[in-house]
Chain A
Amino acid sequence: MANELKVPTMAELFAAGQKPEVLFWVGCAGSFDDRAKKITKAFVQLLNRANVSFAVLGTEESCTGDPAKRSGNEFLFQMQAVTNIEVMNAYGINKIVTACPHCFNTIKNEYPGLGGHYEVVHHTQFLKTLFDDKRITLEGGQFKGKRITYHDPCYLGRANNVYEAPRELIRKLDAELIEMKSCKEKGLCCGAGGAQMFKEPEKGDKDINIERTEQAMETKPEIIAAGCPFCNTMMTDGVKNKEKEGAIAVMDIAELIASAGDL
């Protein structure tokens, strides 16, 4: 990593009397998980490269409450939501971008009912607009002709009908996008949603991430692309389980673009 990351916080900008174009909601995984932190950094590199005026909440950010809500703790969810909304409304935030489909879904769909009204976009949608506006450009690059398969995160795809933005970004890499047998509306869960990430799976024949990894491997990919830190973890574990980590890389779309742009 050549360039140092520029990561302004809302508090700093606010003190300087400035307001960013967009709030980057990092999320718990993006903040704390070692693998997901790499995705966070790759996305920030792209934001820096495109000269996007953005800020993060930093220590003022807290869990959106998604895993609490989906495990049935509506009370804890609403406490989290109301606290986060208070912070964001105090900063007068209008637009939010996040690399986590769970944060994306919760803030976009469930916060408005509790007083949090924002324009929320997923980082793949945001990156696509940066390309559309020519704020980022790509020519060729190391992924040209590579076989990439894309795993649809449930909370981005089925839950919110975002299927095209991530695929368009993969096509910009001049890569060969190969679809799995279950994709888009029929995409198979990675196994982490609904707070499953934080518990052992129920008894069964196999784990869901193994099933999904097998589907991905049927496409003989060099890279499995994901758009969710949890999917990324589940698929990485699946690939390791199949002892294919030398041959197949699991990468977030932001990482693909950042690597292709040689940032």
Chain B
Amino acid sequence: MEYLSNILFVIVLIAGIGFFARNVKRLSRNIKLGKDVDVSDNTSQRWKNMAKIALGQSKMVVRPIAGFLHIIVYVGFIIINVEVIEIILDGILGTHRLFAPLSVVYDVLIGSFEILAILVIVAVTIFWMRRNVIRIKRFMKPEMAGWPKEDGNLILYIELVLMTLFLTMNGADYQLQQMGAAHYIEAGSFPVSQFIAPLFEGMSISSLVLVERTAWWIHIVGILCFLNYLYYSKHLHILLAFPNTYYGKLVPKGQFKNSDAVTAEVKLMMDPSADPFAAPAEDAEEPAKFGASDVTDLSWVQLLNSYTCTECGRCTDECPANQTGKKLSPRKIMMDTRDRLTEVGKNIDANNGKFVDDGKQLLDGYISREELWACTTCNACVEACPVSIDPLSIIMDMRQYLVMEQSAAPTDLNNMMGNIENNGAPWPFNQMDRLNWAKEE
């Protein structure tokens, strides 16, 4: 019986981490449904970007209030993990405050966790107010209705509860230490929870132990649940922000990729010795599809982008089309891509590892043509994203599909393209008149 709680703890831990591992595997399988792209170049620049943008939060602070609050929660999260290591070891070994022999260092550690915990509670409360009381515009866009809104709030509630449990646990512990309870060695410094301790005054040691143990258990089980909640939540960014900033675009923002499939076709057309009437070789591959109409046409980096999106809406807030009331929202492009990818993943799971056509696709099923054509390709969304997501690349790939596979450009654009083809200018002017300006008064 003595080891019952240790055994129980190990089972809970293994179950929690096991489920998480299963979800990570699914996540990686889904991302790999995307087309392969080579992003093995410039490793030093990529590491630098990850350090600066993900670890250093350099783009978060562009908006100082949200940026500052986010840094508190972020630092709180990272530091609290040290405490989680102790909790896990204590749980397995049946010890209590295993790191206590660090003495002064331990005091400083526990003290700083406590201060961060209270700061996180303050930050999370302000975040909640921004979403639910002040109702900041970008959180109220149509794509945020339903689950995205609940998800955002749920994360805040969980963080609030976890921090409160942490402080309650410490408060009860502190009280037990004062009472000289067995097992509860005097260790740590409790700058915040010492003010909770008086609430426990007059309680017996056994009731206090019950409070402490309950808070301790709910805290660690809560953390394990939270870990598994990530897969279903926008909160995945706490993990994926790192690879995503690593694989982010390095070339100038204005540089759009030249399609290799098209280059091959153009070369063939320009080759005077090529036979235009030649029948394709028997073993020739099926010609590549131009552009993207579903998630499997996108690259794995674009799919990683979609899972990394935190739905913060900074992209949509800066988007000139969205600002002037058009349907396009870069955030929605990312959310749609993620939703469709999740759907495709579920389809594969349900059909023994093979995708069975469901008659749907990203284009029209999730993203409308009206949204795609409203984009001015100005890169404001790309600039605004705090974690190097590129919604514009998805918009462009889908436009390519519309134009090159479906010939479904708006009429005005078809006219423009016809002019370029015939006259070498988007307007119907004769190429021979190109120098007329030099002779005009």
Q: Give the B-binding residues of A (Cβ under 8 A).
A: 1, 5, 7, 9, 26, 28, 30-33, 37, 40-41, 44, 56, 58-59, 61-63, 65, 67-76, 78-80, 82, 105, 108-110, 113-114, 154-155, 158-161, 185-189, 191-208, 210-212
Number of residues from B at the complex interface, CB < 8 A? 67
**Minimum CB–CB distance for A26 against chain B, Å:** 7
Whether A28 lies near B427 (C-beta < 8 A) is yes
Contact B402 A32 (CB under 8 A): no
Q: A192 contacts B255, CB within 8 Å?
A: no
Structural contact, A193 and B376, CB atoms closer than 8 A: yes
Compute the total of residue contacts between A and B using a CB distance below 8 Å. 215
Q: Would B432 and A211 count as touching, CB distance under 8 A?
A: no
Bound complex: CA of A59 vs CA of B376, how far in Å? Answer: 29
Q: Is B204 an interface residue (CB 8 A)?
A: no
Of B46-54, B110-118, B263-271, the one touching chain A: B263-271
Q: How far is the CB of B169 from chain A (nearest CB, A)?
A: 44
Please determine whether B433 and A196 come into contact, CB atoms closer than 8 angstroms.
no
Which residues does chain A contribute within 8 Å of B432, judged by CB atoms?
A: 59
Contact: B256 with A110, CB < 8 Å? yes
Return chain A residues, CB-CB under 8 Å to B255: 105, 109-110, 159
By the criterion CB–CB under 8 Å, are A205 and B324 in contact?
A: yes
* 17 other A-B residue contacts (CB within 8 Å) besides A37-B440, A109-B254: A1-B441, A9-B435, A28-B425, A31-B429, A31-B433, A56-B438, A68-B420, A72-B291, A72-B399, A74-B259, A113-B258, A160-B252, A161-B252, A189-B376, A196-B376, A202-B327, A202-B370
Q: Report the separation of the CA atoms of residues A203 and B396 in the bound assembly, to the nearest whole angstrom.
A: 20
B318 at the interface (CB under 8 A from A): yes
Given A31-B435, A202-B327, A72:B412 Cβ within 8 A? no
Knowing A193-B376, A204-B324, A211-B323, the reply to whether A75 touches B434 (Cβ < 8 A) is: no
Complex alpha-carbon distance, A197 and B413, angstroms: 9
Q: How close is A91's CB to chain B, nearest CB, in angstroms? A: 16
Tell me which of B253, B375, B378, B429 has the highest count of chain A C-beta atoms within 10 A of its own C-beta: B378
**CA gap between A133 and B424 in the complex, in Å:** 36
Q: Is B109 an interface residue (CB 8 A)?
A: no
B99 at the interface (CB under 8 A from A): no
Fill in one digit per residue for B398-441: 1 if any A CB lies within 8 Å of its CB, else 0. Answer: 01111110000110110111001100111101011111111011
In the assembly, what is the distance between CA of A78 and CA of B261, in Å?
11
Most chain B beta-carbon neighbours within 10 Å: one of A37, A59, A72, A202: A72
A71 adjacent to B409 (CB under 8 Å)? yes
Q: Which residues of B contact A65 (CB under 8 A)?
A: 420
Determine if B361 is an interface residue (Cβ-Cβ < 8 Å).
no
Q: Is the CB of A59 within 8 A of B400?
A: no
Residues of chain A within 8 A (CB-CB) of B266 are: 75, 78-79, 82
Q: Is the pair A74, B262 in contact by a Cβ cutoff of 8 Å?
A: yes
Whether the Cβ atoms of B265 and A75 lie closer than 8 Å is yes
The 3 closest A-B pairs by CB, nearest first: A159-B254, A205-B325, A72-B399
Q: Which residues of the partner chain A approach B133 to less than 8 Å between Cβ atoms?
A: none
Question: Can you name the residue of chain A whose Cβ is closest to the Cβ of B392?
Answer: A194
**In the complex where A75-B404, A158-B379, A202-B374 touch, is A69 in contact with B256 (Cβ < 8 A)?**
yes
Closest to B428 in A: A32
Question: Please, could you name 21 A-B residue pairs with CB atoms under 8 Å apart, sorted by A?
Answer: A5-B438, A26-B437, A44-B438, A59-B432, A59-B434, A63-B426, A67-B416, A67-B426, A68-B420, A73-B417, A80-B424, A105-B255, A109-B254, A187-B380, A188-B320, A189-B320, A198-B426, A202-B326, A202-B328, A211-B323, A211-B324
